[in-house]
Structure 1
Amino acid sequence: MSALEGVEGEDRQDYTREESRAIRQRSSRLLGSLLRPLRGRVVVAMVIVAVSTGLQTAGPALIAFGIDAGLPAIMQHRDAMPLALVVLAYLTAAIVGAVLMWHYTLLSARISQAFLYDLRGRIYRHAQLLSLEFHESYTSGRIIARQTNDLDSIRELLDSGIQGLIRGVLYMAFIAIALVLLDPISALVIACSLPILAVLTRWFQVTSQRAFRATRVHSARLIVKFVETMTGIRAVKAFRAEGRNEREFGVHVENYREANAKAIGVFGVFDPSLVVVGNVVVAAVLLVGGLRVADGQLAVGVLLAALMYARRFFDPMEEMAQFYNSYQSASAALEKISGVLDETPSVPDPARPVDLWHASGAIDFDGVRFAYRDDRVVLPAFELHIPAGQTVALVGSTGAGKSTLAKLVARFYDPTEGTVSLDGVDLRELHPKDLRRAIVMVTQEAYLFSGTVADNIALGKPGASLDEIRAAAHAVGADAFIEALPDGYDTDVNKRGGRVSAGQRQLLSFARAFLADPAVLILDEATASLDIPSERLVQEGLTTLLADRTAIVIAHRLSTVEIADRVLVMEHGAIVEDGTPEELIGGSGRFARLHKAWRDSLV
């Protein structure tokens, strides 16, 4: 199941057996790839914790030897040496075990951080490489949940859960060995409880898995709602949607609370049950052992050691149950993350890329058919040739296919059938660096990143000098307002360009695109945010900067179309009119009617 398929199904809590198996295999592959570079340190950590646990387990056996051998030696022979040696061995084991656990804690922390560093980087890199199709389907809130909530769950497991599991398993194994060597009958009494523990643990495993998967689902919904509300806060304010959002968010909070309560309730049944079973076993060991001591079949020290071991045998079970809590949460998180990382780009890089160092800008659509889904065909059969250096304006109603055409040229999507080529090279075979250098797209949503004005313009050409940045800003008419900012080109635009208006953000995006100096420039409703004076300034810059460059201009404002060499009118994914602005305006077709209506609106 790919991540895109999982977008709609991500909120599911129940999967088929085949789906669950596939998800587990996918998560296991990811886990193995993350642990493989760390296997040396993991082996060392395992050895350290094994030796440390073994030394700690030796305590009751040493006490039994001290009672049964050391005390009689003092009472009968006035010899304190055996008891002294036992005490010395006990203290040595405790100190060495503690030092080894300290070293293990530091080493496990380094392993944990290396693991998370690798995983966090993979998510970030892979999310950037994924196609536009993925990001249009997978909400930003879910991506944030992968990088925050889910990674925190994995961190908690690595920091404390695994340590508790390893120590618990080893502790129980060493206790079982020590009991068999000290008193096989007491070991047999404890063994009688194992079937009950197996049934109880299995119930806990199945029930908690369902409960913790539900917590991850509701946690993701909570984050998605919060991110969407904050991202669209202007619309929330404009439509007075605070009350409705608060109610919807309250439902998500309540669902999350209930899911957590159910998960904790499962643990609340499991933990007391372990305590009851443990106490019953200790009582049984005491009863059987006490009768054997009275008959002279068992030494008092051995009975005491057996009781201590019996009591300690069940202590790790509680730690392991706590581990399973963390494990279920981390396992569900790893499922989500592996789903994202398993997603392959729908616009993959070519296996054998073709270099195109200097593109002239000729664009060709040959037998192109494109559909977002099988039932949503946007371009049924499309043919188009745009000569190098020609400025083409695309006009048509909403949904006519203009933006889809632009996205195909920018290779945000690949055609379902046919080819889109640049200078005769199929875009699917063109080297990605050459493609991004040759074709630049400016959209209506001019996004500014945190940093200075100069930094945002330089995104079009990393390493550009300040003079080049100033020249690009001047070309599009942005230099006047930039110089008026508090720190000029060094002004921090803040998140989402908070210091500049929507029209100014668009001008900065133009400067960024012009600095990139592409062979093909695509403007998708790029002047929609500009007022009339700003639009005229940009058009003056466009007239100069679009010279000797292929340009595709998509606009509803027909004033922008006037700078075009050629106008294409699109309807239902097909070109219905093709000609110069003057030819189409002088005719009686759709563009002439649109132009007349636009002129009348100005009057």
Structure 2
Amino acid sequence: MSTASTTPRPQSSPMGRGMPGMGMPMGKPEDFKPAARRLFGLLRPQRSAFAAVVALGVASVALGVIGPKVLGDATDIIFDGVLARLRGEPGAGIDFAALARVLSWVLVLFLASAAFGLAQGRLLNNVVQRVVFRLRADVEAKLHRLPLRYFDGQPRGELLSRVTNDIDNVATALQQTLSQLLISALTVVGVLVMMVSISPLLALIALALIPLSVVATGGIRKRSQGLFVAQWKHTGELNAHIEEAFTGHQLVKVFGRQRESEEEFRRRNDALLGSALGAQFTSGLIMPVMMFLSNVGYVAIAVVGALRITSGAMSLGEVQAFIQYSRQFTQPLTQVASMVTLVQSGVASAERVFEVLDAPEQRPDPADAPLPARRRGRVEFHDVSFSYQPEQPLIEHLSLVAEPGQTVAVVGPTGAGKTTLVNLVMRFYELDAGRITLDGVDITRLRREDLRSQVGMVLQETWLFGGTIRDNIAYGKPDATDEEVLAAARATYVDRFVRTLPDGYDTVIDEEGSNVSAGEKQLLTIARAFLADPSLLILDEATSSVDTRTESLVQHAMAALRSSRTSFVIAHRLSTIRDADLILVMESGRIVEQGTHDELIQARGAYHRLYSAQFAAAL
């Protein structure tokens, strides 16, 4: 298919005629737990690599938690040597050889733990990036499977925020929390085993902190989760406003609406600021609460440990090792609590991405899709009915036939359903009733790709991408030769102005197409459709942006092109369709008149009124 612009918006949509619902509030996000389970479920395809991550983490933590116990033995060597010397024992003192051996083992343990930790971090980074890569690919594929109705009801900036900002935030959350969560969980288990082996009583004191921590952080987490959801919702709404304002900045200035635009930005920015401040402040309470509980536990362990030393139940080295373990035990709990902010933010973003992935898709193409035996371009509407909203009928019981090679012009007032008619041919929307056939085959039995490959479409709203003029024309047929591109350019009179440019067909057009005129952009889109050589042409006000002289040249080129293919021409300027084989006059989704120009003028009906409004002086 050759498309001259972005996917066309409907003539009448759920949000109003031709206008998507900017600023439309999003639905309520899912709960935290289902979204979190689904987010971490994305790791399943990487289960083998993640198993290696866990194994490396276990090795790193195991070696790390053994270190304080061995270091406690070094403390006992020093303490026993000093104590023996104070007692005046002959030859008493610190056994430096034994101390060196113990410290060497400690050094080896910590170095090995660090090495395993580095390997684990590198492998985990690879796992996370692959997961996010697949998530981006899934979202991209999903967007191509969504019906046009979905985009009609989504602000463009909001949707862009979901597929860029939110996915980036998910990546950050996974990257920064997975490793720490894994290490923290393993550390808690390993340290707990070592503490119980040293002193079950002190271990019980340390464990008493866990219920207090869960209760303290649970209420804070629930409150901050709602604030994070609001933060990312307001982020999407602010992006939607910015995209809308900057896309139409010329109109904003022309109508003097800068102050209103700034006020709207300020309102949305204030809402984002309020939710962001609330989310960060509320989640930030977790760290000081955990630090307080940790210090309380540290004091309790130090007091009880001192009493155990004086009673001879424990050695100084054991208490020193236990105090280290108590710090290692509460530290991961504190770190996990501090990561609640990142986890909640990431899950809130994941909810928004999952809403896109869960959106209803367009009807899948049939597996055994037939192809017309011969591409002739015959289009027939059989009792077609369609509406964007069930309570607002648009097209009802429409039947018509466009024979091969015919030029069918569709005219009528704004909102009559003209663009909707061709959108249905392209199967941008599914019918409510009836059917449309192309060369005798129901278009719902064709694959969309096969259907649209037979159609060339040129819209009033031009679309060019950043690239050379040659690349933009060849977009209609990627494997076209330079000779074919040049022939299409000549047929549509593009060659006339391209040769006046310093770089000719190698002239680079920026994404806004600001270095070519509106009429030249329209000619390029027409050349693109010509190059595709379709059996069916759809021209939606395709000459509205060109001057009168260029329009005359383009009309001649179109007449030659239409000689062997069916054409649907939507036009407001009735002078451009006087030579059409069939003119359809639409009002409120119905064909109220049809015939040639002369027949409709003589009938003195709806077409005569439209024509008289434009050429009253001539009549």
Give the TM-score taking structure 2 as reference length: 0.91
Call closer, same or farther: CA 1:483–1:125 in 2, change over 3 Å: farther
**1:126 aligned to 2:137?**
no
Q: By how many angstroms is 1:27 displaced?
A: 7.0
Q: Is the 8 A contact 1:457 1:511 kept in 2?
A: yes
Q: Secondary structure at the match of 1:400?
A: coil
Aligned with 1:336 (options 352, 359, 362): 352
SS at match of 1:276: helix
Structure 1 residues 511-526: aligned runs within 5 Å:
511-526=527-542
Amino acid at match of 1:277: L
Q: Deviations over 1:339-397 (max 9, x none)?
A: 11222333532243222374211111112110101112111211111112111001111
| Contact kept in structure 2, 1:543 and 1:563, CA below 8 Å | no
Pair 1:143 & 2:154 matched: no
Matched residue, 2:513:
497
> In the TM superposition, what whole-angstrom CA distance separates every residue of 1:178-234 from its partner, at most 9, and x where no partner exists?
100111111011122222111012113212211211111111112111111111122
Q: Which has the higher contact order (CA 8 A, sep 6+)?
A: 2
Which one of the candidate residues 575, 578, 599 is aligned to 2:594?
A: 578
Specify the alignment match of 1:557 in structure 2.
Answer: 573
**Native 8 Å contact 1:13 1:210 kept in 2:** no
Match of 2:384 among 355, 368, 386: 368
Structure 2 counterpart SS, 1:497: coil
CA 1:244–1:539 in structure 2 vs 1: closer, same or farther (change >3 Å)? same
User: What per-residue deviation string (whole Å, max 9, x for no partner) do you get for residues 81-110 of structure 1?
Assistant: 443332122101110111111112221222
Q: Deviations over 1:57-87 (max 9, x none)?
A: 2222112222235753795587544433321
- Identify the match of residue 45 of structure 2 among 37, 44, 49: 37
Q: CA deviation at 1:8?
A: 9.5
Q: The residue matched to 1:592 in structure 2 has which SS?
A: helix
From the two aligned structures, give the one with the greater helix fraction: 1
Matched, 1:389 2:405: yes
Name the counterpart of 2:248. 232
Q: Answer yes or no: is 1:57 the counterpart of 2:72.
A: no
1:460–1:512 contact (8 Å) kept in structure 2: yes
Cα-to-partner distance string for 1:150-198 (whole Å, 9 max, x where unaligned): 1221121122221111111111111111100111111011122222111
Q: Distance in 2 between matches of 1:8 and 1:530?
A: 30
- What is the distance in 2 between the residues matched to 1:234 and 1:473? 31
Match for residue 206 of structure 1 among 222, 230, 236: 222
Matched, 1:408 2:408: no
Q: Partner residue of 1:215?
A: 231
- Greater shift in the superposed pair: 105-114 or 324-333: 105-114
Q: Find the aligned partners of 1:444 and 1:145 in 2 and give their Cα distance.
A: 28
Aligned to 2:265: 249
| Distance (Å, rounded) in 2 between the aligned partners of 1:600 and 1:256 | 55
User: Counterpart amino acid of 2:400?
Assistant: L
- How many residues of Structure 1 are paired with residues of Structure 2 in the alignment? 593
5+ residue gaps, structure 2, are: 1-13, 16-20, 85-91
Q: 1:101 to 1:258 in 2, by over 3 A?
A: same
Q: Matched residues in 2 for 1:320 and 1:10: separation?
A: 36
Letter in 1 for 2:613: A
User: 1:369–1:417: 8 Å Cα contact kept in structure 2?
Assistant: yes
Q: Gaps spanning 5+ residues in structure 1: where?
A: none
Contact 1:460-1:515 within 8 A present in 2 as well: yes
Provide the C-alpha distance between the structure 2 equivalents of 1:81 and 1:467, rounded to a whole number of angstroms.
87
Residue number in structure 1 paired with 2:306: 290
Write the distance in 2 (CA, Å) between the matches of 1:362 and 1:28: 52
Report the 3-state secondary structure (helix = DSSP H, G, I; strand = E; otherwise coil) of the residue aligned with 1:568.
strand
SS of 1:600's partner is coil
Give 1:586-597 correspondences, 5 Å limit. Answer: 586-597=602-613
User: What SS does the aligned partner of 1:559 have?
Assistant: helix
Distance in 2 between residues matched to 1:135 and 1:577, nearest whole Å: 33
Q: Which moved more, 1:120-129 or 1:485-494?
A: 120-129
Query: Residue 426 of structure 1 corresponds to which residue in structure 2?
Result: 442
Matched, 1:398 2:414: yes
The one-letter code of the counterpart of 1:485 is L
**In 2: Cα distance, 1:368 partner to 1:113 partner:** 48
- Residue deviations 1:1-49, cap 9 Å, x none? xxx99x999845856xxx538xx657755653x4233222111111111
Q: 1:417-496 residue pairs with structure 2 within 5 A?
A: 417-496=433-512
Within-5 A mapping of 1:182-201: 182-201=198-217
Query: Residues 320 and 9 from structure 1, CA distance in 2 versus in 1: closer, same or farther, beyond 3 angstroms?
Result: farther
- Cα distance in 2 for residues equivalent to 1:11 and 1:87: 62
Letter aligned with residue 583 of structure 1: E
Matches within 5 A, 1:8-157: 11=25, 20=31, 25=34, 28-29=37-38, 32=41, 34-68=42-76, 72=80, 79-157=95-173
Matched, 1:567 2:578: no
Deviations 1:281-330 (A, max 9, x none): 11111111111211112211111111111122221123212322111111
